[in-house]
């Protein structure tokens, strides 16, 4: 739905609710409530008919045209550019970048040096199929992100780079192009906007190769599936089709399947001069002086365990962060740090522990609050274990439900929603002309809501666009509103039927409109995707509250004490249950509250995750979070096994 139509429908829904409530007062001027509400309902349906995208079949029902796809491609490029530009800024990659060095293993020659994203973009322009290999922490993911950012900066036309972590793909479950399409819809739900982009825009962007994959982390796919994964990637993106892949060196070699036509390059370790130059650049004069014993040691032992540990961009960045206010000479203690692994583990542990519990660091990072160090570490460890158990590196807020047993979560969510919906209906009906029916009506409504919630609990994926009458704003709203109106009209009179029918039609129209995202160019983020769900919940709840308040006043009379307020409260409860049924936000909320009650996670989970990103422990990848590096996740997942037991 276009922005204009979306705003027009939202305005019409609000006006319908307000005018329905105004029916309480116009009766004083001799206007019958039934006449007023009938005219209002017909006027609302006429508005929907004028704005219904489905009725404009040439634009809404057909497959996306070339013009649709051109618009979608450009908007997607803008959204990704804003997203990765913000992430580069958050990670401090616009400043103090290390030089990129690599050597060609196959199909090309080495490159690198100042410019960073310029260097990798030049390499891609020479060979649009690249494989970046390196050791853990060598900068493969950062290189892939800088390449994506550099290509988006310079894009005038052509395909859009789409950076994806391979840890979210199961080669046994879906084709690589199917997975890529699904991720497009998940990260950019506005691609479902059939009026702006036509039907199946995301599918066609992949099918027509208007986007190309930047696949990060082949090593995160289980070893027994890597060869098959590479074979599927070769078949899905053959020949000269642009493709970028990153992997750890040994894991790529063990797979034994070459990437067709690709230039394979090996990221090189940093030498002691680059290490010293970087640490001096990110330190103040006092801190830089503390590093001098380390620099002398690196010159004396350029192949030693400390030089090896600091030879990767990740470890070097960690060292700069950890010892911004500390004493780095402790790294010279061979007893405490006998090898590279000991140094890396120490730096990761210090990153997590030093990020929390310090007011000065929290203020400098602009975190919302100072989180207790022990609790923050325990919460992160719980998330790391849950992610390791599922074999993923991405933490999508909607996936939190998987940290609670599926059956238990479904029952808990269904019971709570059923109780809210049933209570709302029973409370209102208790003051109707037939109060004896209130318990039966409330129980029936509660059971209906609970069954619907159980059904919705099994669907955790973002739906693809649907064609046909189910995309009709007018038909769906009109049919459901009429059905509800007939039932309530038969039980409680024409006025009640008209108000309730209009209320259901307004709620359905709101649900349709708010689910039809009009902003593809908006950068994807965890906060933004969750905000869309919350807006849908509370807008629908408030509109139904106004409508049911009006219904209570019209049916029982504005002079009867408390009826309008009761209608507002009952409508708010019923509107809430109807709004959240199919939204991921509800199941996230149920899981979050349950885990917070058990002390596994904080109550303000999203605030905590965003602060952890600002403090450098997490990073953002589209609509999800990731740990700053797999080494951080692995260390947290294994550091405190007694504190991070399964919650299933």
One domain for residues 164 and 254: yes
Q: For residues 444 and 429, what is the distance between their CA atoms, to the nearest angstrom?
A: 12
- Predicted confidence at residue 58, as pLDDT, reads 47
One domain for residues 244 and 318: no
Query: In this structure, what token pair is assigned to residue 37?
Result: 């509400």
Please provide residue 287's backbone torsions phi and psi, each rounded to the nearest 5 degrees: -65, -40
Residue among 439, 572, 584 nearest 526 (CA) = 584
Helix (H) or strand (E) holding 626: strand 624-627
One domain for residues 121 and 214: yes
Mean pLDDT over each residue of the chain, to the nearest integer = 80
Helix (H) or strand (E) holding 24: helix 3-26
% of the chain with per-residue pLDDT over 70: 84
Neighbours of 250 (CB within 10 A): 11
Mean pLDDT, to the nearest integer, of 360-388? 89
Question: Structural domain tally of the chain?
Answer: 3
Which residues are bridge partners to 264 per DSSP?
Answer: 106, 131
One domain for residues 459 and 328: no
Q: Which of 113-127, 278-292, 597-611 has the lowest mean pLDDT?
A: 113-127
> What is the CB-side half-sphere exposure of residue 574 using CA atoms within 13 A?
30
Q: Of 573, 588, 603, which closes a domain? A: 588
Alpha-carbon torsion, ordered 581, 585, 590, 593, to 10 deg: -150
- Predicted confidence at residue 641, as pLDDT, reads 36
Query: In this structure, what token pair is assigned to residue 93?
Result: 């990659």
pLDDT tier at 382, thresholds 50, 70, 90: very high
- The answer as to whether 613 is a domain residue is no
Q: Which domain holds residue 117?
A: 69-266
Q: For residues 50 and 385, what is the distance between their CA atoms, to the nearest angstrom?
A: 52
Beta strand pairing status for 160-165 and 211-216? parallel
Q: Of 206, 240, 266, which closes a domain? A: 266
Q: For residues 159 and 243, what is the distance between their CA atoms, to the nearest angstrom?
A: 11
Query: In this structure, what token pair is assigned to residue 527?
Result: 């906060």
Alpha-carbon torsion, ordered 548, 549, 550, 553, to 10 deg: 120
Residue 442 makes CB contacts below 8 A (sequence gap 6+) with: 422, 423, 425, 426, 427, 429
Q: Of 588, 623, 640, which closes a domain? A: 588
Query: In this structure, what token pair is assigned to residue 398?
Result: 């909607």
Q: For residues 497 and 551, what is the distance between their CA atoms, to the nearest angstrom?
A: 9
- The answer as to whether 643 is a domain residue is no
Q: For residues 204 and 421, what is the distance between their CA atoms, to the nearest angstrom?
A: 41
Please provide residue 99's backbone torsions phi and psi, each rounded to the nearest 5 degrees: -65, 145
407-458 pLDDT tens trace: 777 888 888 888 888 887 787 777 765 677 778 877 887 788 778 777 776 6
Which residues are bridge partners to 438 per DSSP?
Answer: none
226-278 pLDDT tens trace: 999 999 999 999 877 899 999 999 999 998 889 888 888 888 888 888 888 88
Longest dimension (CA), the chain: 98
Helix (H) or strand (E) holding 23: helix 3-26
One domain for residues 226 and 310: no
268-321 pLDDT tens trace: 888 888 888 888 888 888 888 888 998 898 888 888 889 888 888 888 888 888
One domain for residues 92 and 211: yes
- Predicted confidence at residue 600, as pLDDT, reads 92
One domain for residues 432 and 575: yes
- Predicted confidence at residue 644, as pLDDT, reads 38
Distances (CA, A) of 49 to 2, 9, 173, 477: 15, 11, 41, 11
- The answer as to whether 478 is a domain residue is yes
Q: Specify whether the CB–CB gap between 203 and 64 falls below 8 A.
A: no
- The answer as to whether 375 is a domain residue is no
One domain for residues 315 and 454: no
* pLDDT exceeds cutoff 90 at 181: yes
One domain for residues 286 and 176: no
Which residues are bridge partners to 431 per DSSP?
Answer: none
- The answer as to whether 410 is a domain residue is yes
- Predicted confidence at residue 642, as pLDDT, reads 36
- Predicted confidence at residue 647, as pLDDT, reads 39
> What is the CB-side half-sphere exposure of residue 169 using CA atoms within 13 A?
30
135-147 pLDDT tens trace: 888 888 888 888 8
Top-confidence residue, 165 or 105? 165
Q: Specify whether the CB–CB gap between 284 and 320 falls below 8 A.
A: no
Q: For residues 201 and 211, what is the distance between their CA atoms, to the nearest angstrom?
A: 12
- Predicted confidence at residue 213, as pLDDT, reads 93
Which residues are bridge partners to 129 per DSSP?
Answer: 243
One domain for residues 186 and 217: yes
**What b-and-e string marks burial along 604-622, b requiring 16 or more CB atoms within 10 Å of the CB?**
ebeebbbbbbbbbbbbbbb
Angle at 579 between CA 505 and CA 518, to 5 degrees: 80
Q: For residues 57 and 46, what is the distance between their CA atoms, to the nearest angstrom?
A: 18
One domain for residues 100 and 11: no
- The answer as to whether 602 is a domain residue is no
With tokens 């992160």, the residue in question is 380
One domain for residues 60 and 74: no
Residue among 124, 159, 125, 158 nearest 144 (CA) = 124
Q: Specify whether the CB–CB gap between 575 and 545 falls below 8 A.
A: yes
Beta strand pairing status for 129-134 and 243-248? parallel
Query: In this structure, what token pair is assigned to residue 302?
Result: 């350029």
Distances (CA, A) of 216 to 133, 151, 248, 274, 487: 11, 16, 10, 26, 55
* pLDDT exceeds cutoff 60 at 38: yes
Residue among 199, 198, 205, 153 nearest 183 (CA) = 205
Q: For residues 132 and 263, what is the distance between their CA atoms, to the nearest angstrom?
A: 9
- The answer as to whether 618 is a domain residue is no
- The answer as to whether 548 is a domain residue is yes
CATH code of the domain in which 187 resides: 3.40.50.300
């Amino acid at each position: 739905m276009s922005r204009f139509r979306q705003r027009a429908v939202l305005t019409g829904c609000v006006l319908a609710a307000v005018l329905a409530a105004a029916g309480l007062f116009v009766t004083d001027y001799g206007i019958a409530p039934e006449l007023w509400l009938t005219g209002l309902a017909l006027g609302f349906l006429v508005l929907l008919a004028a704005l219904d995208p489905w009725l404009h079949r040439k634009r809404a029902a057909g497959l996306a045209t070339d013009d649709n796809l051109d618009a979608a491609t450009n908007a997607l490029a803008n959204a990704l550019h804003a997203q990765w530009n913000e992430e580069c800024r958050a990670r401090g990659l616009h400043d103090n970048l290390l030089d990129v060095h690599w050597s060609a293993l196959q199909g090309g020659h080495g490159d690198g040096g100042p410019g960073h994203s310029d260097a990798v973009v030049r390499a891609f322009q020479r060979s649009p199929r690249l494989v970046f290999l390196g050791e853990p922490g060598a900068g493969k993911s950062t290189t892939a992100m800088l390449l994506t950012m550099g290509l988006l900066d310079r894009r005038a036309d052509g395909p859009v780079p789409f950076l994806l972590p391979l840890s979210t793909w199961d080669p046994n479950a879906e084709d690589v192009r199917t997975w890529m399409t699904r991720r497009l819809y998940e990260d950019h739900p506005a691609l479902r906007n059939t009026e702006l982009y036509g039907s199946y825009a995301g599918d066609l962007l992949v099918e027509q190769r208007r986007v190309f994959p930047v696949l990060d982390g082949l090593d995160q796919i289980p070893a027994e599936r890597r060869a098959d994964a590479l074979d599927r990637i070769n078949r899905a993106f053959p020949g000269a089709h642009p493709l970028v892949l990153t992997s750890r060196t040994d894991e790529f070699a063990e797979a034994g399947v070459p990437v067709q036509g690709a230039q394979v390059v090996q990221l090189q370790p940093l030498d002691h001069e680059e290490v010293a130059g970087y640490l001096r650049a990110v330190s103040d004069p006092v801190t830089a002086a503390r590093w001098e014993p380390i620099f002398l040691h690196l010159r004396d032992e350029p192949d030693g365990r400390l030089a090896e540990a600091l030879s990767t961009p990740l470890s070097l960045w960690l060292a700069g962060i950890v010892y911004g206010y500390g004493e780095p000479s402790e790294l010279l203690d061979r007893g405490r740090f006998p090898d590279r692994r000991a140094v890396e583990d120490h730096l990761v542990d210090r990153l997590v522990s030093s990020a929390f519990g310090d007011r000065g660091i929290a203020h400098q990072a602009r975190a919302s609050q100072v989180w207790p160090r022990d609790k923050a570490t325990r919460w992160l460890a719980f998330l790391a274990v849950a992610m390791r158990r599922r074999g993923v590196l991405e933490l999508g807020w909607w996936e939190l439900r998987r940290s609670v047993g599926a059956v238990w979560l479904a029952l808990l969510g269904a019971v709570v929603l059923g109780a809210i919906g049933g209570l709302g209906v029973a409370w209102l009906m208790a003051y109707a002309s037939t109060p004896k029916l209130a318990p039966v009506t409330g129980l029936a409504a509660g059971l209906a809501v609970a069954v619907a919630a159980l059904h919705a609990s099994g669907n955790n994926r973002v739906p693809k666009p649907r064609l046909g009458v189910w995309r009709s704003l007018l038909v769906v709203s009109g049919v459901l509103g009429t059905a509800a109106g007939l039932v309530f009209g038969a039980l409680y009179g024409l006025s009640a039927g008209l108000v309730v029918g209009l209320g259901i039609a307004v709620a359905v129209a709101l649900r349709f409109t708010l689910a039809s995202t009009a902003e593809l160019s908006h950068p994807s983020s965890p906060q933004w995707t969750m905000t869309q769900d919350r807006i849908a919940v509370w807008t629908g709840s408030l509109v139904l509250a106004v409508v049911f308040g009006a219904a209570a006043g019209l049916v029982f009379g504005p002079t009867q004490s408390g009826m309008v307020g009761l209608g507002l409260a009952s409508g708010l409860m019923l509107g809430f249950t109807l709004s959240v049924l199919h939204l991921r936000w509800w199941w996230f909320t149920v899981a979050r509250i349950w885990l917070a009650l058990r002390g596994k996670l904080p109550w303000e989970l999203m605030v905590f995750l965003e602060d952890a990103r600002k403090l450098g422990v997490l990073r953002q990848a589209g609509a999800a979070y990731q740990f700053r590096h797999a080494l951080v996740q692995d260390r947290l997942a294994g550091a405190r096994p007694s504190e991070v037991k399964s919650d299933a």
